Amino acid sequence: MKKVVTFFLLATILLSPNSCCHGGYLKSSTKKVFSQKSADKSDRKPEDPLQVDDNVLPPANNNDAEECSIEIPESIRKNIPEDMQHAILLQLIFNLIKEEYVNGLSERKIVEKAVIGLLSSLDPHSSYLNEKMFSTLKNEADGEFGGLGIEITSDESFIRIISPVDDTPAYKAGLKSGDVIVYINDECVSGFSIEEAISKLRGPPHTKVKLKIKRADKPLFDVNIERDIISVRSVKSEIFDNIGYIRISAFDRNTAAGIKQFLKDNKDEKLFGLVLDLRNNPGGLLDATIDVSNIFLNGGKIVSTRGRTKENSRSYFAGVGDLSNGLPLVVLINSGTASAPEILAGALQGNRRAIIVGTRSFGKGSVQKVIPLSEKIAVKLTVAKYFTPSGECIQARGIIPDIEADYAMIQKPEHTFTIREEMLSNALDADKKATNKKVTEEQNKKFLDALSNRKNKNKEAEKEAEEDYELQYRKLSLKERVDKDYQLAKAFDTLKAIAAFKASKSGKSDDVIKRYGAEK
């Protein structure tokens, strides 16, 4: 009995939150780490950007016996105090495995497997971090690491890609959000934890890994990728049609600075608005998300976390002053928009600062804290959920766009024939003078070709249409993407419509109408 009580007390001490370091990491995406520090306030000084929130989640329900399949044996119920019965049951199972399991396991290995099983059964993001995993996690926080550049999560028995990060080996190899990894180097990943999968995917730079991928209704196919040091350029920006386009592929320590620099460099440009492209952004640092939100918000709540303790229940607020000077803002999201970008989209939507366009986001709205148990090992535990300024929980719900726009390619018909009034025989011109303009032979030929083309579709166009749209977009310039990417075109059209409306209300619509109102 003394041995059992000693085991129980040791487990209680090790797993007690009060005995662990609370300066650990909070996580904003499945694998990205961020700290609890508030946003950088070098540009502005909000009164109190970070506040402890009294609105905590309700305590655990201990009357859930009907939902639990574990039955305490009668011998334990009769002889052991109620508050120790479950601990004794664990010890009983521990002893059974040690004495009778066919392969034989050391006490240390049994405990490790028990802890791994306990944490991984809670949710897809809680886990035990052994020495190698904990070291890898700390290296990620430093910004550079070797690997493929994909964000992954567990999906039943396999590993699903949330999103590849722009310009990484996985991105260049054509991996997509939603792809399922079935094999890594001919080893089936069924039953792998996230950390086990990552340890297989990572390796020295310039070494190769072979993946077997399942994509939608397509058969399994192989992808060979060469590992590399992952150093992400999180912000890419340019101007097209008087609209600023800012692509954020991840949230790191340089993200806010990159956006501020773009706004500074183009402060004299007469922009109609900005497009923030958060599609297939797998997450990043909370601090970076708060900093980016501060750029576009003039006060207001950014996000709140609610856990079972006040320490894990916090609210983040924006400072005073919109660095974009209130430029109309459209944010693009899709199912690959996960965690940190969901916080940004939710903050801008909740404060009525932006129009959200696209499809419902991933819905990763939980907070993980990495609690070191020693210098070498740690526990990653889900401790809270994210809530938007309007009080909506992001977890498993995601951000709902204001304007639904599915991922699609725009294909403009070729060899079409347009006929207008001035092309008709004896049509009047603008001065109402009779003319003898006639449809020329060349125009007639175009017309006949167009009719013929409707019956005989271009085989090359059909083949191109069958190719994966998303992979095609990665090779295009911004101008080409605006012409072909339906979601991006929707965002640009929304900003153009806002600009035209504002100009018409102010009586200065000539320039806007001249630029966008006439058919090109």
Q: Is the pLDDT of residue 31 over 80?
A: no
Q: Per residue in 108-140, pLDDT tens? A: 999 999 999 999 999 989 999 999 888 877 766
pLDDT at position 204, please? Answer: 85
For residues 319 and 389, membership in a common domain is answered with: yes
For residues 425 and 490, membership in a common domain is answered with: yes
Q: Is the pLDDT of residue 320 over 90?
A: yes
Q: Per residue in 204-218, pLDDT tens? A: 899 999 999 999 888
Q: Is the pLDDT of residue 438 over 50?
A: no
For residues 363 and 430, membership in a common domain is answered with: no
Final residue of a structural domain among 230, 247, 271: 230
Q: Phi and psi of 505, rounded to 5°? A: -70, -30
Is residue 45 part of the annotated active site? The answer reads no
Q: Per residue in 185-199, pLDDT tens? A: 999 999 888 888 988
For residues 451 and 495, membership in a common domain is answered with: yes
Q: Pick the catalytic residue from 27, 31, 212, 364.
A: 364
For residues 254 and 208, membership in a common domain is answered with: no
| Nearest in space to 297 (alpha carbons), one of 347, 331, 235, 259 | 347
pLDDT at position 17, please? Answer: 33
pLDDT band at 306 (very low <50, low <70, confident <90, very high): very high
Is residue 339 part of the annotated active site? The answer reads yes
Residue 208 lies in a domain: yes
Residue 63 lies in a domain: no
pLDDT at position 365, please? Answer: 97
For residues 209 and 248, membership in a common domain is answered with: no
Comparing 445 with 123, which gets the higher pLDDT?
123
For residues 392 and 309, membership in a common domain is answered with: yes
Q: Per residue in 378-423, pLDDT tens? A: 999 999 999 999 999 999 999 999 999 998 888 877 666 677 787 7
In whole numbers, what is the pLDDT of the chain averaged over residues?
A: 82
pLDDT band at 318 (very low <50, low <70, confident <90, very high): very high
How many Cα atoms sit within 13 Å of 228 on the Cβ side?
A: 15
Q: For residue 486, what are the CA distances in angstroms to 222, 416, 458, 492?
A: 30, 21, 22, 10
Final residue of a structural domain among 230, 260, 294: 230
Tokens representing 105 are 């396991």
Q: Pick the catalytic residue from 127, 249, 293, 339.
A: 339
How many Cα atoms sit within 13 Å of 99 on the Cβ side?
A: 6
Per the structure, the complete domain to which residue 246 belongs is given by 235-368+379-404
For residues 361 and 483, membership in a common domain is answered with: no
pLDDT at position 329, please? Answer: 98
Q: Phi and psi of 274, rounded to 5°? A: -130, 145
**For the domain that residue 215 is a member of, what is the CATH number?**
2.30.42.10
Classify each residue of 293-312 as buried b or exposed e, where b means 16 or more C-beta atoms within 10 Å of its C-beta. bbbbbbebbbbbbbbeeeeb
Q: Is the pLDDT of residue 459 over 80?
A: no
Q: What percent of the chain is modeled with pLDDT above 90?
A: 57
Q: Per residue in 46-105, pLDDT tens? A: 445 666 666 788 877 665 545 677 888 888 888 899 889 999 999 999 999 999 999 999
Q: Phi and psi of 322, rounded to 5°? A: -95, 110
Q: Is the pLDDT of residue 336 over 90?
A: yes
For residues 240 and 329, membership in a common domain is answered with: yes
For residues 280 and 302, membership in a common domain is answered with: yes
The whole-number average pLDDT for the span 309-315 is: 94
